[in-house]
Structures are given as structure tokens and as C-alpha cells.
Amino acid sequence: MLVDVSQKVVVITGSSRGIGRELARQFAREHAKVVINYFNSYENALELYNEINQFNENCILVQADITKKEEVFKLYKETINAFDQVDILINNAGICSDNLLAMMSYEQWQQVIDINLNGVFNCCKIFSKEMIKKHQGKIINISSLKGQLGSGGQVNYSASKAAVIGFTKALAKELGVFNISVNAICPGYIATDLNRENQTKKETAQNLSILGTDNNLNDLANFVLYLSSDKMLGVSGQVFNIDSRVI
């Protein structure tokens, strides 16, 4: 069965590192038109752009702070100017700023909520208008298993990812009439720049895993590709756990 996303325009927030970086690579390999978004990590983003450009010239690089609606609108305008449409929006940008609640600063709380939740709001609000106009589109919000399970020392992160799940389900009900699907994906532990050095998290995930291993980044990328393709057109408002532990 061929999963075809060729010529589809995909915007991936926070795609200079981690999960977003691998998603950008995989979509580019499948001949999609890829918008790489970054905020601070210009060198990483440029390196990715140059890598992708060797085999897919339909790729652009856009700096934008997704917590600011003006910059998200710039991201939208540059996407439309380059490709004249947007087919897939993947809200991937996210951060951790861990601490116990008693010691967590207001800045730690607000920064995580601003990026992980408010950024999703800004991107969905602005990009969905184009999808509504075209009467088609797919939005995929990267949440987390911690949004369902909670995680000690991560009340800000857990709350933001739980909110993304509720946001996804509500928005799917609003946009379904316009033939736009909205789904959330909850990865478990996947080794990225955010957590690669945290052996405790890795060992905990492996101990809880039915398969006894941590998740492969390729599993997530393959699932996102399938969900983004025309092979899955009748699914919306759903939460998919990409993990091998029972919750």
C-alpha cells in the first residue's frame, strides 16, 4: 500500500530539532513541500535545510516565534507565497522546564504554557483559515503521554499537553464541516535533544514498555506520514498513543 504525500504542503513548527527535524526529513523524502520553522536554532535549521535541499528543492526555512500571532502570520504568509496553499499543519514545537510545583517559578509555568499550548492556538487559528477557504486540510497536534498520565516535576508540561488534547477534540468538532481533520498524537519516551541525557526517564519508559524497548523515532514519523496521507480521510478528533505501555 503506497502512502503518498508527494506535493502536499506541510508546515512543521519547531522542526529544527528533535521530533520535528525527523518529520521534516521524512516528509521531504516522500516528496512533500516542507516548511521548516525555527525560533532560535538557526544553525540547526540551516543544516537541515541544506540536507533536505540536496534531494528535495521544495523546502523553505522560516523563523517565527509561535507565541506571537504576528510572527505566526508571517510564517503563514511565507508559506502561501512559496507554495500557494497549506495541506498539513503539524504543531510540534514544545519545551520542558521541569521543577517541583513548590519551587516552580511563574516564568517556568508561563513559558511552557505559552509555547506548548498558546502556540498551538495561534497556528491553528491562522492556518485553519486557509484550510477553510480550500475546504480541506489536516492538523496534527503533537501532545504527549504525560498529558494523560501526568508526571511529577512536570506539572506545567503535563498540563499543557493535556490541554492540547482537549483543544484537539474541540477544534475537530468545529472544523469537520469544512472537511478538515484535527488529531493529536501522544508519543511516549522518544530520545531527542530534550531528554537524551536523562537516563531515569529512559529506564522508566523501558521498564513500563510491553516490548521492553523505548520508542523508535521512525515509528512516530511513519505514523504521522500515514495520518497525513489520503489513505486516512475519515478520522478526526482522535488521540493516538505512539507507545507500547498500557495506561
Task: List the catalytic residues.
Answer: 157
Q: Going by DSSP bridges, is the β-strand pair 137-142/59-63 parallel, antiparallel, or unpaired?
A: unpaired
3-state secondary structure 219-246: HHHHHHHHHHCCCCCCCCCCEEEECCCC
Q: Which residue has the cell 537524551?
A: 196
Distance CA 113, CA 18 (A): 19
